[in-house]
């Protein structure tokens, strides 16, 4: 959706999110005097009602905060591997579900055994306490009202329900939400979640305790135990939000901040940007240009250079890389040795603060906790998070997500705030958006809408309009999509012009995103 502009006198801020209602909820908080974190939380809470298959209280995420005065900080409340004290011999089989994106098919896994330790309730409360200006109850109220009244499915959300039909019908409880009476909901039909509304109000009243050491924790673990899941009361009791120092990399006179280990995405984005910064020279002195594409124009990297940087980053995602992510000092060692269904909210506030938060429920496990409306995550069944095999990580290990909330600083101030959904495509979507703004000078909305490439397993996936001529000349296999597609992620981004201070934003049309200047 095209960003709504405001007059010159408007200085409250700008929000981009995966649904118009989410973006408007965040903008309303900015108008009422909230800061970037307040707005991000309001938008995120609203997304539980408006984007219910992509996120929710059974999910996890990351929030990158850049205060107007203070050091940037990354809050990690992502999903952990479950199984403390569980009888692993009783673990159920994962339930495979094939999902077609029209021009590509991906298999996801659902069911009780796919559920990891959720972090969302803890992360929400921690962020509000550390950085928020407004009471959590005020941020929750509009989201709860929408969940209770129902939100009509827009075309993008209806498409997500359609392609995830196998998950939406997996159990009677999830079917009651997405296919009541046996009919799968479609465009214009309202997703009504009164139990979720009550659970959101419980979060506002009692904080995260009921979700980790109370009645909701008891209900979730009892349900999963009965169906062969691994999540235990011990897993939930041990869960904590972790504050981390963001990964930092220089790029074209800016500093890019992103998600550090044990997440994988921010590290790989930093590595790819550093390769591009070295003017087309990859690891070991090899040219990134790949021959036919040349050495790249002054206006930015060529498609071949970009694909080569993505390929170099992907090649580093080895078993040693994944195992090492959880080790102290891994990031510095990694970069020094080489360089010598998800939703996102991006916010800039009028005081100069920034917040970038990416949350994911995967596609959902098809398991809803009775009486709560909480659709649990399927992160233990996500191939992208478990590339070396399922149930390999020990209980308590944060899964190595590609999610990478990112902020680009110019002269120490946030210039571009962004992030994306899209599993393995997250890093390529974020990388291309940064290059489009910084190297090619596109405004943020045009950068978000620009056609994308993604390189994986020797194949270049391409949207219409993406430059593939040099890649074809170099012998790359091209998988062409017929239109822009959510396969390539869902970037939500906001920007502040370094000279004029004007605010702008871009909501990704691939995900029905929207941006609102408050």
Which are the catalytic amino acids?
342
Compute and round to an integer the Cα radius of gyration of the chain: 21
Task: Give residue 349's Cα distance to chain centre.
Answer: 21
A 10 A CB-CB count for 500 gives: 8
Whether 230 contacts 115, CB under 8 Å: yes
- CA atoms in the 13 A half-sphere facing the CB of 185: 26
Q: Which residue from 494, 467, 489 is spatially nearest to 478, judged by alpha carbons? A: 467
Give the end-to-end CA distance of the chain in Å, rounded to a whole number. Answer: 16
Those residues with Cβ within 8 angstroms of residue 315's Cβ, 6 or more apart along the chain or in another chain: none
Q: Indicate the SS3 state at residue 363.
A: coil
Whether 436 contacts 495, CB under 8 Å: no
For residue 486 the two structure tokens come to 């959510």
**What DSSP designation does 90 have?**
G
Q: Extract the runs of DSSP E, i.e. beta strands, from 301-452.
A: 342-349, 354-360, 368-369, 374-375, 406-410, 413-419
Give dist(CA 476, CA 491) in Å, integer.
26
Residue 254 sits at φ, ψ, to 5 deg, of: -115, 175
Give dist(CA 161, CA 142) in Å, integer.
23
A 10 A CB-CB count for 372 gives: 22
Q: Extract the runs of DSSP E, i.e. beta strands, from 206-264.
A: 242-244, 247-251, 254-258
- CA atoms in the 13 A half-sphere facing the CB of 426: 31
Q: CA angle, 179 as apex, 173 and 180 as ends, to 5°?
A: 75
Give dist(CA 501, CA 505) in Å, integer.
13
Q: Extract the runs of DSSP E, i.e. beta strands, from 156-311.
A: 190-191, 242-244, 247-251, 254-258
């Amino acid at each position: 959706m095209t960003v709504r502009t405001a007059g010159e006198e408007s200085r409250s801020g700008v929000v981009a999110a995966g649904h118009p209602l989410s973006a408007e909820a965040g903008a309303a908080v900015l108008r009422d005097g909230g800061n970037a974190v307040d707005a991000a939380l309001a938008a995120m809470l609203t997304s539980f009602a408006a984007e219910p298959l992509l996120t929710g209280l059974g999910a996890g995420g990351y929030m990158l905060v850049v205060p107007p005065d203070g050091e940037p900080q990354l809050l990690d409340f992502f999903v952990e591997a479950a199984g403390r004290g569980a009888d692993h011999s009783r673990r159920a089989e994962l339930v495979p579900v094939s999902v077609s994106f029209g021009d590509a098919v991906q298999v996801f896994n659902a069911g009780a055994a796919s559920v990891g330790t959720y972090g969302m309730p803890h992360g929400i409360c921690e962020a509000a306490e550390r950085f928020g200006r407004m009471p959590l109850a005020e941020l929750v109220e509009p989201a709860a009202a929408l969940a209770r009244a129902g939100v009509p499915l827009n075309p993008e959300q209806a498409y997500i329900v359609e392609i995830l039909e196998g998950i939406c019908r997996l159990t009677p409880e999830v079917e009651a939400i997405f296919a009541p009476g046996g009919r799968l909901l479609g465009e214009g039909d309202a997703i009504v979640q009164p139990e979720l509304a009550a659970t959101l109000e419980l979060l506002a009243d009692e904080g995260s305790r009921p979700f980790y050491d109370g009645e909701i924790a008891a209900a979730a673990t009892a349900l999963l135990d009965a169906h062969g899941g691994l999540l235990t009361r011990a897993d939930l009791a041990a869960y904590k939000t972790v504050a981390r120092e963001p990964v930092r990399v220089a790029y074209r006179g800016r500093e890019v901040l992103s998600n550090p280990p044990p997440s994988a995405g921010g590290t790989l984005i930093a590595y790819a940007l550093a390769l591009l910064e070295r003017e087309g020279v990859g690891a070991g002195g090899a040219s990134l240009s790949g021959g036919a594409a040349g050495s790249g124009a002054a206006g930015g990297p060529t498609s071949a250079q970009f694909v080569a940087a993505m390929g170099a980053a992907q090649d580093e995602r080895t078993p040693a890389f994944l195992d090492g992510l959880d080790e102290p000092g891994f990031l510095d060692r990694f970069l020094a040795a080489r360089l010598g269904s998800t939703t996102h909210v991006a916010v800039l506030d009028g005081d100069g603060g920034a917040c970038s938060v990416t949350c994911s429920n995967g596609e959902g496990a098809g398991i809803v906790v009775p009486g709560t409306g909480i659709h649990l995550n399927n992160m233990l069944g996500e191939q992208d998070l478990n590339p070396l095999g399922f149930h390999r990580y020990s209980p308590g290990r944060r899964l190595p997500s590609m999610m990478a909330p990112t902020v680009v600083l110019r002269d120490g101030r946030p210039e571009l705030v962004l992030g994306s959904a899209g599993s393995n495509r997250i890093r390529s979507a974020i990388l291309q958006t940064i290059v489009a703004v910084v190297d090619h000078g596109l405004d943020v909305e045009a950068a978000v809408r620009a056609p994308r490439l993604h390189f994986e397993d020797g194949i270049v996936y391409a949207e219409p309009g993406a430059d593939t001529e040099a890649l074809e000349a170099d012998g790359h296999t091209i998988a062409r999509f017929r239109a822009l597609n959510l396969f390539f992620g869902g970037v939500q981004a906001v920007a502040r012009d370094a000279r004029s201070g004007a605010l702008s934003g871009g909501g990704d049309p691939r995900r029905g995103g929207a941006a609102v200047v408050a």
